[in-house]
């Protein structure tokens, strides 16, 4: 990492390996969300099962990266930027693992929905749209982490408001839907939980971007406004 | 911490101070949940506002404890049990902060609900019951953390199934309620989100207990079954 004092090539390689593993975990989680939403829309039960089964791969990566971080903390006793990188990774993988859980939940809801009469199902356009934004946020957070790119991180924090608004819009739509035909209530709730899972994914991506700002600037931005973060980034 | 080699009294005092701060943060979060649910049931809007306003105190404690942990990592370069204590604290306060967010959400939902016709509201017995279990889980997690008590930690992991079952039961009840009278749909959804927030609190308390097992045993139990954790604890 730029600006740090360590000279050991071996140490650099270890940090680089951890960073690469985080990006790999991020890629896996991204694919899990994409496939979960795809399976929901297509009704492909085999794909739903695959997403559910593959969650253990996400978990295994979390445990592995966590152990690498502990090893580095013990053996390398990193300071300043390197230490912030490690604590950022420890936090980031917790959020990635929870995004993985949300993907699994979406696949489970998709399974419940696939057993029902498709006749009463509302269209999934809105769900697809919200998940596209959440996926974009996740991708950008990983990019910001990889390239220490603060302006991308700030964009993600801003985008979170968009996902929240999508969620509220889906909820309003479902309420109308349920009121018009109370037989759709139970199905609509399952779709609502899918929307909620997507909203959570946005929250986790936002957390990840906030950690990036912290890693680079050494300033905690988790509990400040979007405007303050944007000012911080421009400084 | 027992079994570690450091002799510095100053270092011991620093670790003890961090532990005390975590317990203080836990106590604050516990009170936030209790007051949020109380305000929901009583309809006390001043209390709802107080919970919402006090969330910043939870956030401030998280930032402060996080900084203390970083300082200890840099200056003391802890190993073994002490290092596990610090990484456990870093993870624990993230979950505590998110429990605080859920308490704030409950208070916000309570405000929405307080503006509605109380005539159509379902009783809150079930919500109270679920939140009592979640609060008990949180208290036990903090106890397990304070006393390094594995059997209490294992109990919390087991209790999480109970909160999940309470959530499903509230959902079934609300579905019946909405189907009988579609005018209650929007109100029922708000209550459902309160129930969801309580279920999340249970999840976070469970995470915290799993970290305690890790801290004491040095073995990651986040992705194993309850039975395996119980075996681990008995060993």
Asked if B59 has any chain A CB less than 8 Å from its own CB, the reply is yes
pLDDT at B224: 75
Which residue bears the tokens 């209490």? B152
ipTM score: 0.87
Task: Report CB contact under 8 Å: B70, A87.
Answer: yes
Q: How far apart are CA B78 and CA B63, in angstroms?
A: 21
Chain A environment of B222 (Cβ under 8 Å):
59, 62-63
| Mean pLDDT across chain B | 91
The verdict on a CB contact (< 8 Å) between A83 and B70 is: yes
pLDDT at B1 over 50: no
Confidence band (pLDDT; 50, 70, 90) for A212?
Answer: very high
Contact flag A87-B67 (C-beta cutoff 8 Å): no
Contact status of A225 with chain B (Cβ, < 8 Å)? no
In this model, does residue B217 exceed pLDDT 90?
A: no
Distances (CA, A) of B233 to A131, B150, B172: 40, 6, 35
- pLDDT of B119 strictly over 60: no
CA distances from B178 to A10, A183, A192, B122, B223 (A): 62, 10, 15, 10, 37
Q: Give the Cα separation of A232 and A227 in Å (integer).
A: 9
Q: Nearest 5 degrees, angle CA A104-CA B209-CA A28?
A: 25
Interface test with B, best of A6, A60, A72, A77 (most B CBs within 10 A): A77
The answer to whether B185 contacts A171, with C-beta atoms less than 8 Å apart, is no
Is A94 in Cβ contact with B223 (below 8 Å)?
Answer: no
User: Which residues in chain A have Cβ-Cβ distances shorter than 8 Å to B218?
Assistant: none
Chain B contact present for A71, CB below 8 A: no
What dotted CATH number matches B9-234? 1.20.58.220
Report the C-alpha gap between A83 and A15 in whole angstroms.
Answer: 10
Closest residue on chain A to B74 (Cα): A79
Q: What is the mean pLDDT of chain A?
A: 91
pLDDT value for A118: 60
Residue A14 has pLDDT above 90, yes or no: yes
């Amino acid at each position: 990492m730029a600006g740090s004092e360590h000279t050991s090539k071996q140490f650099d390689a270890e940090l680089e390996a951890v960073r690469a593993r985080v990006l790999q975990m991020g890629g896996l989680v991204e694919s899990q969300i994409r496939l979960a939403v795809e399976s929901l829309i297509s009704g492909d039960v085999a794909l739903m099962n695959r997403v559910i089964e593959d969650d253990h791969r996400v978990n295994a990566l979390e445990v592995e990266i966590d152990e690498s971080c502990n090893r580095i903390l013990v053996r390398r006793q990193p300071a300043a930027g390197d230490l912030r990188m490690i604590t950022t990774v420890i936090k980031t993988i917790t959020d990635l693992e929870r995004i993985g859980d949300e993907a699994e939940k979406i696949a489970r809801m998709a399974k419940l929905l696939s057993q029902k009469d498709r006749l009463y199902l509302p269209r999934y356009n809105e769900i697809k749209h919200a998940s596209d934004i959440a996926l974009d946020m996740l991708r950008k957070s990983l990019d910001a982490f990889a390239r220490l790119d603060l302006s991308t991180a700030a964009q993600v924090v801003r985008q979170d408001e968009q996902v929240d608004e999508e969620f509220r819009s889906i909820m309003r739509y479902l309420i109308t839907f349920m009121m018009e035909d109370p037989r759709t209530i139970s199905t609509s709730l399952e779709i609502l939980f899918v929307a909620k899972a997507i909203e959570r994914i946005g929250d986790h991506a936002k957390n990840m971007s906030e950690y990036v700002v912290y890693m680079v600037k050494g300033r905690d931005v988790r509990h400040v406004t979007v405007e303050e973060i944007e000012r911080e980034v421009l400084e």
